[in-house]
Amino acid sequence: ERDLPVVEPSPPPPAAPADAGRGGGADAGGGGGGGVAETSDIDAIWDSYTTSTRRRALRHASSNRAVAVVMLMDAQKCPMCEELFVDSDESTRELREHMRDEHFVS
């Protein structure tokens, strides 16, 4: 029998700040995050939206809540009434039409 050397486990990496990995909001000019959001962060973001907005995001995200949260964070927001447009392919066009139809801005 041979004695094996004792190997100490390496220490865990330093904790990241609570907002690590989040991109900027609409007012901050966007920007992608590199980290993964914690479940509590996802829950807090999710809870900050109305039920109808959550349902709309879930429809676009194939019922995947984490994807829906990312879509909500990247959504286009009307600067006049703050309505959100979550469909990334159509959101810019929908926002323009909304501004024209609801706020009479061309």
**What DSSP assignment string belongs to 84-105?**
EE--TTTHHHHHHHHHHHHH--
Closest CA to 70 of 82, 60, 83, 81: 60
Model pLDDT, residue 24: 45
C-beta of residue 51 within 8 angstroms of C-beta of residue 65:
no
Element (H, E) at 76: strand 76-77
* Pair of tokens at residue 94: 């929908």
Q: Which residues of the chain have pLDDT under 50?
A: 19-34
What does pTM read for this prediction?
0.47
pLDDT of residue 28: 44
